[in-house]
Structure 1
Amino acid sequence: MLTGKQKRYLRAAANRLRPIATLGKNGLSDQFVDGVAKALEVHELVKLSLLQTAEETPAAVGAFISRTLPGAQVVQTMGRTVLVYRRAGLEEHRKLSVEVAKLGK
């Protein structure tokens, strides 16, 4: 579980990010979840955007991603944007998680 300091740090880091995945009328497909999982493995912090045609709500998408991908946590839901964080499995991709771990102490 992320602390308030950790969430603030991640939200600040996400200000400059562009949405990596966009959810539309096709809904939460396996391809969408696989794409989010691959992006989280490389980037650790991913911004997801929901189009107006998407039937799901941002809260439902965040809950689904948290349940489906082990270790994934929703940092923020703002409007039609969901910010998701998960620690990378490979050492070479762990940049944010090192800073997040420092803030948790």
Structure 2
Amino acid sequence: MLTSKQKKHLRKASHNVQPIFQVGKAGVNENMTTQINEALEKRELIKVSVLQNCFEDNNQVADEIVEATDAHIVQVIGNTVILYKESEENKQIELP
């Protein structure tokens, strides 16, 4: 679980990060979560964009991804979900 100080640090770090995944009307599937997990291992901090045609709530999408990848939700703002997962081999972000 991330502390509020860590979340603040990660929100600041994610400011210039562009969303690399989009969740559409098909929702979250196993293939997508596998790719998100690989991206988290490589980058540690990613953004996921939830498209307008997605039938699920943004928080529900975030919860499904977290459940499948063991990542942490940094923030759900608008249609964007910011996720963090500490990399095992490629640690780049030092948390306070």
TM-score of the aligned structures, taking structure 1 as reference length: 0.87
Structure 1 or 2: more helix by fraction: 1
- Partners of 1:18 and 1:30 in 2: how far apart? 22
- Partners of 1:40 and 1:4 in 2: how far apart? 20
Mark the runs of 5 or more structure 2 residues left unpaired by the alignment.
none
Larger relative contact order (Cα-Cα within 8 Å, sequence gap ≥ 6): 2
Question: What does residue range 70-85 of structure 1 map to in structure 2 within 5 Å?
Answer: 70=70, 72-85=71-84
Question: Larger radius of gyration, structure 1 or 2?
Answer: 1
SS at 1:89's partner residue? coil
User: Over aligned residues, Cα RMSD in angstroms?
Assistant: 0.9
Name the residue aligned to 1:42.
Answer: 42
* Identity score, percent: 35
SS at 1:36's partner residue? helix
- Partners of 1:56 and 1:33 in 2: how far apart? 16
Deviations 1:24-79 (A, max 9, x none): 11211111111111110100001000110111111001111221112x11000000
Q: State the number of aligned residues.
A: 96
